[in-house]
Chains A and B, each alone.
Chain A
Amino acid sequence: MTYIAQFFSMMLTALFIENIIFTRAVGTSWLFYLVKRPKEIIRYTLVLAAVVTLSGAIGYPVRGLIHDTQYRHVLVPVMYIGILALVYIVVYFFVKKVLPGQFEHFGMNLGVGVFNCAALGSLLIPAGARLDFISTIGYGIGMSFGFGFAVVIMGYGLTRLEYCHVPKAFRGVPIALIYLGLLSLAFYGLVGHQLPT
């Protein structure tokens, strides 16, 4: 029983309080890519969640071995990218064979959908915090849905931005960055201290 409670508490913290975008600024370029394609948000968040749980589960035992060596700063990311590559190939052929309808929606974007900072961030941060198995998975899933939540909020904001007289120099990327900065300022108030990256 405590596992499920631990799982959900980790998931909720990762979803709202320690949101991957607002408090750690991980995966923002992928966020900007998705904000302009509102139809694909749910699909890519689910892909993200699936990939993170799969590679988190595979990576957990391997991580246990190497997270005390002297070169852990390099080995852990390389190991996780390797696992991500394996998982990508599995997911690629799984989607191609089992649900071809979805496949042409993805086209080649599946690669970008899997290999992005949000996915790797959701794997590395629990590894850095040395969480046990259940909370690693919970944290990973929470982070992916937190990413979706952040994209939805940014979507609201940026549709509203179209009706402001933004000065010419600030149009486009700059104003979206400032908006994202103000939002993460608000969520920072929730956390209160700088999170260990």
Chain B
Amino acid sequence: MSFFVKGILLEQKKEPMLTRSTLVMRQEFQYFDCDFMETPIDELSKEQIIEIARLAEIVDESDGKMLWEKLEKAELGEKGTLIVDAIDDEPYISSQMAIGIHHQEKFALGIELCEKVLAPAKTYIAMYKHIFDTNFSIPRKIGGYKVEKIGGRYPAENRAYRHIPKGRNSIVIGSCAMLHLARAAEDSRKMSSCFLTVAGDAVSNPRNVEVPVGTSVEEILRLCGLTEEPEVIVVGGSMTGRAIFEPENELVGPTTRGIVALSRSYNHSTYNCIGCGRCDHACPKALSVSTMRKLAEFGKFDELRNYDAAQCIGCGACSYVCPARIDIAATIIKAKKQMELAKKEGTL
């Protein structure tokens, strides 16, 4: 890692959810029918697999795109790599990793189908290494595919894929999409469910859950049970998710990584920034965060452009580290949105 870029070490608190098996919510499955239903799986041709993915309407949860479009458009060169994204570097969240650990055969089958379509030179499963509180070790191989342990500090996701060799193109597919592809190929099941982690200190038995797409957050929380009234319910990752107010009409989609119910929101600080410089240390993109926050606060947008606000990925590491508990990431992201708005209107 270069001298400037540091990021932060988080304790992942993944423990009860990762080792527990995935709880499946009662749901009726939809099926699709296609002409090559009976051909055995290993003789499926490339077009047939893409057709299966299209009929099953599988959405890749790592970036929200349709799986069949990604497979169709991706033409890896002769040295292409297929990376299965199972990195969950945010605390509490382990929906992608649970797939790799609890449904290994179907997961391997999914990867095999993708390999048949893309014919990459190398495939590996990327998993986050820095999980200290789990009492089992991450397997070296899953279903014959090598597991590459991505180390380093949070945010590991954007740094892992930044190391994809620029010259040869490579593709990142989420682990849940792999599982859905395997199910679609085996018993031609449509993708009607999504995987997410329900966690937080207000949940009675936090675990990984498979729920039909579109169920409300309140139903899922009632499924897992609540020990006390949560003060904050977060949808998405614990570092990049957003707090919601009405859980009953908040619907869950394939790209929501998890639901975190916290019994006590962190106490809103009344301290001014004392300029300790920790946020500058924590920023993975080596931005001067403390000055940018001041510029954003005072609304000086063109100087903010000089400070490369566009490169901020909104990972929240600076707000995590700030001893004065100031929402630095929120201020900078809001200022970034205002800058884009101003740029569109041409005032900037």
Contacts and interface: CB of A to CB of B under 8 A. Distances in A.
Contacts of A162: 298, 300
A38 to B, nearest CB: 15
Nearest to A163: B294
A157 to B, nearest CB: 15
Contacts of B298: 162-163
B269 to A, nearest CB: 15
Interface string A11-33: 00000000000000000000000
Contacts, number: 8
A165 B300 CA distance: 14
A163 B272 CA distance: 13
Contacts of B294: 163
A165 B297 CA distance: 10
Contacts of B272: 165
B76 interface: no
Nearest to A162: B298
Interface string A138-179: 000000000000000000000000110100000000000000
B312 interface: no
B328 to A, nearest CB: 14
A180 B291 CA distance: 24
Nearest to B290: A163
A165 B272 CA distance: 10
B295 interface: yes
A87 to B, nearest CB: 41
B152 to A, nearest CB: 33
What's the dominant secondary structure at chain B's contact region?
helix
B29 to A, nearest CB: 58
Interface string B120-162: 0000000000000000000000000000000000000000000
Nearest to B293: A163
Contacts of B295: 163
Nearest to A160: B294
B301 to A, nearest CB: 14
Contacts of B291: 163
Nearest to B295: A163
Contacts of B300: 162
A147 to B, nearest CB: 28
Interface string B285-310: 00000010011011010000000000
A162 B297 CA distance: 11
A127 to B, nearest CB: 46
A173 B236 CA distance: 49
B218 to A, nearest CB: 41
B245 to A, nearest CB: 31
Contacts of A163: 291, 294-295, 297-298
A162 B294 CA distance: 10
Interface in B298-341: 298, 300
A55 B323 CA distance: 59
A163 B290 CA distance: 11
A139 B52 CA distance: 89
A162 to B, nearest CB: 7
A162 B299 CA distance: 11
A94 to B, nearest CB: 40
B194 to A, nearest CB: 45
B187 to A, nearest CB: 62
A163 B293 CA distance: 10
Nearest to B298: A163
Nearest to B272: A165
A162 B298 CA distance: 8
8 contacts: A162-B298, A162-B300, A163-B291, A163-B294, A163-B295, A163-B297, A163-B298, A165-B272
Given A163-B294, A163-B295, A163-B297, 4 more contacts: A162-B300, A163-B291, A163-B298, A165-B272
Interface of B: 272, 291, 294-295, 297-298, 300
Q: What are the 8 tightest A-B residue pairs by CB atom distance, in nearest-first order? A: A163-B294, A163-B298, A162-B298, A163-B295, A165-B272, A163-B291, A162-B300, A163-B297
